[in-house]
């Protein structure tokens, strides 16, 4: 598997993002696209990645700043379940966020999306208070994780 940093408008990323939007709309009644519209491609703190397996784009994810020390995780998607795609993308984005100087990663998903909730809990994310646009949204659940003390794979 190989991860490349690219743009959400990249031709190989577009089908992944469309599939994610359709799945989210079916599961939770919202595609999630509205909360990703302010993406700033020229800002190096906005990082979008695509994971390839044997030249097939099979997953994507992104981070962007929401506070000086906090990155927000967005648009996580794995085309195939239980193949390590999500974990590989998450580890890459956590390491990238740490390299950019963030100490935490926050994210939002919907309570009804139990598969996503379990994924983040398995990866040591804990429920936090809803932040930003999610404050007061009883359908949303937010997660956070400290990343300032993560050990890189090179140090293992």
Q: pLDDT digits over 88-129, tens only?
A: 999 999 999 999 999 999 999 999 989 999 999 999 999 999
Alpha-carbon distance of 90 to 118, in angstroms, equals 14
* CATH match for 2-155 among 2.170.130.30, 1.20.59.10, 3.90.1010.10, 3.40.630.30: 3.40.630.30
| Confidence grade of residue 151 (pLDDT, cut at 50, 70, 90) | low
Q: pTM for the whole thing?
A: 0.86
Domain ranges for the chain, please list them.
2-155
| Confidence grade of residue 156 (pLDDT, cut at 50, 70, 90) | very low
Across 15-37, average pLDDT: 75
Alpha-carbon distance of 37 to 113, in angstroms, equals 22
């Amino acid at each position: 598997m190989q991860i490349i940093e690219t743009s959400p408008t990249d031709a190989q990323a577009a089908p992944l993002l469309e599939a994610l939007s359709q799945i989210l709309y079916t599961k939770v009644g919202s595609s999630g696209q509205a909360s990703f519209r302010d993406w700033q491609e020229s800002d190096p703190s906005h990082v979008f990645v695509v994971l390839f397996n044997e030249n097939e784009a099979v997953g994507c994810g992104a981070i962007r700043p929401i506070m000086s020390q906090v990155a927000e995780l967005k648009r996580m998607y794995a085309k195939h379940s239980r193949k390590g795609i999500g974990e590989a993308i998450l580890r890459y984005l956590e390491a990238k966020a740490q390299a950019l100087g963030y100490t935490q990663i926050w994210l939002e998903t919907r309570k009804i999306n139990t598969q996503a909730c379990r994924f983040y809990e398995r990866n040591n994310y804990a429920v936090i208070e809803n932040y930003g646009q999610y404050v007061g949204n009883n359908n949303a659940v937010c997660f956070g994780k400290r990343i300032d003390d993560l050990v890189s794979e090179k140090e293992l």
